[in-house]
Structure 1
Amino acid sequence: MVIYGSAKVEWITYSTVFLMVNTCIVCYIVAVGLGHVPAWLPMISDCAVQSPEKYMFRVGVISGATCLLANMVMVYNAFPDFYFRKCTLALAVLAAVGMSICGAVDEKENPAVHDVGALLFFACYDLVVIILSLDASWSEKISPSSIRVKLAFAILAIVVPVIAIILSYYPKHRSYLALCEWFGAFGFAFFTLTFAQDFDTVDLVEEKCPDFERVLSKPNSSQCVYTQSTSQQHSTSDSTF
């Protein structure tokens, strides 16, 4: 018997939120402290242009994108009753790619590439929030309180981009556009956090048990209950006669 073990999936969710939120906050504090950006209110990408904050931003954002995609893969596997889970997984892949591009290429190095990555992330993950919230509202595995929170985030995912698009036509209100960007990024992170309570302990790698079949795996236990296969049980009972 070879057992690879299990892991609490919610820790991937916590890691995603930690990386996304703390990367933005730490880079903002460093950039403001060194006088690279004004305190009120820079765009998130403005806090990742100069050294040393741009290096922290790259590591944090790319790591956060990896964890974000891993979290969406876990959502895909944990909730097979979600109708649009393949669609949301595909959108999550695009969002993670866009987030990685946005983190790897700052706005001064190549503005076009950076903007494409940012738009890809925000547009795709905005759709992920809306579709997953609808899927969760139809699922029997999601608690009513969690559904209400997800639907609230879905409403924000519709309202905030509309406001941001309107403000983009008024350059003098750039600080309010930056506020929408910060609000959207933090909203995405905390929406992801809502799945932490929905996850149980799951096996990341299935146990390998020759000549045995698993019949029960307790969600909060590292031990699995196994039984002999039906054919072996019949052969054992026949040999006793």
Structure 2
Amino acid sequence: MSAPRLGFVAQTHTGAVEYDDLVAAGATEGFDFVELYMDGATERRALDPERIETLHERHGLDLAVHLPFVDLDLGSPRPLVREASRRELEACLDAAAEMGAEKAVLHADTDATPPEFGRESVLPHALESIERLDAYADDAGVEVCVENLPGRLFSTYDFDVLTAETDASLTLDTGHARVDGLDEAEMADALREFDDRISHVHVNDSRVPEDEHVPVGSGTIDFERAFRPVRDGDWDGTLSVEVFTFDFDYVATSRRKLEAWL
């Protein structure tokens, strides 16, 4: 297997940093791709797909996207809500394809929760939405990767459900996995067990079992152990540093530490 490509999630949603500057910095640092967060200041209506594609070609970087999620509901028991959410995400996938994106990270979630709605009533709707979006993305030439969300509809423990009921690829978020209670050996086991379905990994550290997204190496996750399957050549997807910071130095440091462990 070939070595995994390394990228980073661009924290552009608040408008505090410019996407062009991040792409240039990523190229200088030696990243292979950028994962564009398509929300807030960089949601699809604010983007010029042709300009984004040209920008990436100029700097020699590939592109992935993180689809919006905060106000969308793919598991709602209300058909019109689900349909509107899917249509918005389809429009985002169209834009992603126009920009030349290879992968699209998806939060397949719902705000329909107990006591009004139980898991059994929303799960089929979310799975149907995933299947429809995956098929739509496939036609557009983009790979949908469903992310594990701790304490939500699809946590790290639901990878078996996602692989059994859908054809979509998966995103493993290391910080989310830790919140779900997985240790480094169990993260490695997940990479081995679902090696043909986990296509993308969000790499972020934490000091405690909370969703901190601190720079890689500044927390307590033993990535050398967690990524043993990567080092052994048993997994060759894409790794994306997802650090909640506007200071690119921390992103660059995360890449260097990650590369050393790999």
Q: Same fold (TM over 0.5)?
A: no
Normalising by structure 1, what TM-score? 0.25
| Structure number with higher helix proportion | 1
Normalising by structure 2, what TM-score? 0.24
Which of structures 1 and 2 has the larger relative contact order (alpha carbons within 8 angstroms, sep 6+)? 1
| Structure number with higher strand proportion | 2
State which structure, 1 or 2, has the greater radius of gyration over its C-alpha atoms. Answer: 1
